[in-house]
Chain A
């Protein structure tokens, strides 16, 4: 991989459950100070914690550039509602929204809804892929210039620029169009953890950003190649996929550790390989893996966000910036711009020939 390809960094701001706005705002602002691409907030119906998308909507007006990526589960929820909520996060943040699609596999989660029993991960991930697909179609269901406000004809919208999606999935169908006009990014960024077998296919097919858990640069590179091949097989440009290595990091309280490195430590919520060391050690690891072509970047989950995120930003990120491996400011405004991903063309808009050409 060429070293001129930008490095991408993201951080989880979850940690132990907190229900107030101030602590989440403080962490997101800290990450924004380091010009990170985005923050994530994990979520699940199975363990204590507030609704992640709501928290990041609360954070949006209190930040200005950082991408906001809540986890949203697709198993017991309505794809139509998910699509509306994520589009709305994009509207309230001025184009900084993403969502990490996840599934609910347990019987305990199924009982919270009482609609259907737990199902195998493979079926749930297929459904998650369909939810991502239906959601993206709903985001496209309004062309960007559908609102015309044409006083002469009395028309507020041009209804020919609104489209039914008529999506038929294996467990749901959606007629459309969306109630939310196409969001600022066209399509908010879709993130999937593509490590596990059943998630790999929907990740390669629908995700913009894929997280992978790997214990060596070779393993990460091989997962990345696999995902890029999968994307190509689905007719996508593999360069429209960003693969980030997930690391759970414990930065302790020294600059460097006597024996830094990956450990088979506690697998905290399964958020990636456990790294213990100082901020400088982490910068070393990121530099080596990144320059070796293992990944497009890293998704870091600090085990103690208040302490470790501060050390990531002021230690690790500062060092990477000093080495010119990471940006020092945000050149763009939207999450897609941070990630170097274009604004997707609308699948329903006819390719209109510019005037004067034929």
Chain B
């Protein structure tokens, strides 16, 4: 049977953590990271995952204050987690735009050594000038260039990792390309995995192409069976032109799970979670993100605004932009009218979605179906509680997946590559 891969996402900056829940604890204390990582390792997960954002979000020119915010720097936390885990993969999101290959390749190789072969890099590409204001280079990188830099970044990092042969000898490197012109000697010997695992997150055509050409794992947002299958077929079909096999790339959507004693219990919990995630203030905010207007005077329990969105607005900063605000607004209006929904109810229905809801048996069967029918190779689970949000899943769903033979009962290898069933990279000396 096709084996499922599982990863635990530590919810960083986000609007989905139910932070007012009494069980919700610090998003920054190391004990929180330790709890989720140990839970994931107890569940024999493939890896632990950290996202990244390099500038605090703003709304209407002011720091956005409704969401969980404030997080530590990924690689440093993962090095510390390497001390309290033994097998779990450790994946850091690190931006290819605001870093340099020599330094980052060295930090990733160091994590791979210190964790005995468990390091992964999620390559993200945000290049906006807003984030650039925290960095020397500023925000000069065009959107069109973000993946050319990312692709050259990854291949340069691999040249550096390959400048040490598996037998421990090293030779100088020299890379000359459009984005980087660098040479010298790499200071870290070949790490246990040879090359740390490369993950890609980004959904455009260029993003998919970049993943198909070079990534080991792709992190997506396709949480429905149909969207998942279409994405899966599309991306796996792109591999051949790079001389790769479908099995060389793992597709793992980020998903949420609500487990209850019965399906009805879980549905009820999920509805309550959605209501808590979309507070009255967050409902107005979600509306403003689509409308691009200040709608703070609207009643979240009242009807949608009669005015149309302002497509040229810039009130939202540091978030993914709504591509077609007029279209989205039309959809929301139709939904609100047909079901008689308020602003808040409309937002609840339209935005936040639990992907897998039900009894442990239902959730296990649904997850297995996604994997068995090629909608995914596995999942990155995003809990709504920090740090205990995966306890239930690990205690109640994982054993069922194991019984069904859909998920490992023990780690068979010690490196993240071995958990993911990925081949050792061939040394290109």
* Chain A positions near chain B (C-beta within 8 angstroms): 17, 19-21, 25, 45-51, 53-55, 57-62, 76-78, 80-81, 84-85, 87-89, 91-94, 108-109, 111-115, 142, 146-147, 149, 151, 153-159, 162, 171-177, 179-181
The answer to whether A94 and B30 touch across the interface, beta carbons within 8 angstroms, is yes
Residue in B55, B80, B189 whose CB lies within 8 Å of A179: B55
State whether A113 and B136 are in contact (beta carbons under 8 Å apart), knowing that A85-B76, A179-B71 are contacts in the complex. Answer: no
A180 to B52, CA, bound (A): 11
Contacts of B113 in A (CB 8 A): 19-20, 50
Please encode chain B, from 38 to 75, with 1 for each CB lying within 8 Å of some chain A CB and 0 for all others: 00000000000000011110000011111111111101
State whether A142 and B70 are in contact (beta carbons under 8 Å apart), knowing that A50-B188, A91-B30 are contacts in the complex. Answer: yes
State whether A172 and B136 are in contact (beta carbons under 8 Å apart), knowing that A50-B114, A50-B188, A156-B19 are contacts in the complex. Answer: yes
Please tell me if B124 contacts chain A, counting CB pairs below 8 Å: no
Residue in A58, A91, A93 whose CB lies within 8 Å of B28: A91
Please tell me if B110 contacts chain A, counting CB pairs below 8 Å: yes
In the complex, residue of chain B having the shortest beta-carbon distance to the beta carbon of A166:
B133
7 A-B interface contacts by CB (under 8 A): A20-B114, A48-B187, A91-B77, A111-B182, A113-B100, A159-B63, A180-B72
Contacts of A155 in B (CB 8 A): 65-66, 281
Contacts of B68 in A (CB 8 A): 156
State whether A88 and B72 are in contact (beta carbons under 8 Å apart), knowing that A61-B30, A111-B184 are contacts in the complex. Answer: yes
16 further interface pairs, Cβ-Cβ under 8 Å (given A84-B72, A156-B68)? A25-B83, A51-B110, A54-B114, A57-B80, A58-B83, A59-B83, A61-B83, A78-B98, A85-B73, A88-B73, A91-B30, A111-B183, A155-B65, A157-B70, A159-B64, A179-B73
| Interface residue SS majority, chain B | loop
Please tell me if B106 contacts chain A, counting CB pairs below 8 Å: yes
Chain A nearest CB, measured from B356 CB (Å)? 26
Residue with the greatest number of chain A CB neighbours at <10 A, chosen from B13, B183, B187: B187
* Chain B positions near chain A (C-beta within 8 angstroms): 13, 19-20, 28-30, 34, 53-56, 62-73, 75-77, 79-80, 82-84, 98-100, 102-103, 106-107, 109-111, 113-114, 133-136, 180-184, 187-189, 279-282
Residue with the greatest number of chain B CB neighbours at <10 A, chosen from A49, A58, A108, A155: A58
The answer to whether B100 and A181 touch across the interface, beta carbons within 8 angstroms, is no
The answer to whether A114 and B30 touch across the interface, beta carbons within 8 angstroms, is no
Chain B nearest CB, measured from A113 CB (Å)? 5
The answer to whether B65 and A159 touch across the interface, beta carbons within 8 angstroms, is yes
Contacts of A47 in B (CB 8 A): 187
Contacts of A113 in B (CB 8 A): 100, 102-103, 182
The answer to whether A55 and B73 touch across the interface, beta carbons within 8 angstroms, is no
A77 to B62, CA, bound (A): 29
State whether A153 and B281 are in contact (beta carbons under 8 Å apart), knowing that A88-B77, A114-B182, A179-B54 are contacts in the complex. Answer: yes
The answer to whether B103 and A91 touch across the interface, beta carbons within 8 angstroms, is no
The answer to whether B77 and A156 touch across the interface, beta carbons within 8 angstroms, is no
In the complex, residue of chain A having the shortest beta-carbon distance to the beta carbon of B138:
A173
The answer to whether A154 and B63 touch across the interface, beta carbons within 8 angstroms, is no
Residue in B30, B279, B280 whose CB lies within 8 Å of A92: B30
The answer to whether A157 and B134 touch across the interface, beta carbons within 8 angstroms, is no
Contacts of A81 in B (CB 8 A): 73, 98-99
Residue with the greatest number of chain A CB neighbours at <10 A, chosen from B75, B99, B136: B136
Residue in A54, A88, A91 whose CB lies within 8 Å of B111: A54
The answer to whether A149 and B19 touch across the interface, beta carbons within 8 angstroms, is yes
Contacts of B187 in A (CB 8 A): 17, 45-50
Chain B nearest CB, measured from A147 CB (Å)? 7
State whether A61 and B80 are in contact (beta carbons under 8 Å apart), knowing that A21-B114, A111-B183, A156-B68 are contacts in the complex. Answer: yes
Contacts of A176 in B (CB 8 A): 134
Chain B nearest CB, measured from A236 CB (Å)? 27
A113 to B180, CA, bound (A): 8
Contacts of B280 in A (CB 8 A): 154
Contacts of A94 in B (CB 8 A): 30
> 3 smallest A-B Cβ distances: which pairs?
A154-B281, A57-B79, A92-B80
A149 to B67, CA, bound (A): 9
A177 to B58, CA, bound (A): 11
In the complex, residue of chain A having the shortest beta-carbon distance to the beta carbon of B79:
A57
In the complex, residue of chain A having the shortest beta-carbon distance to the beta carbon of B20:
A151
A175 to B114, CA, bound (A): 33
The answer to whether B54 and A114 touch across the interface, beta carbons within 8 angstroms, is no
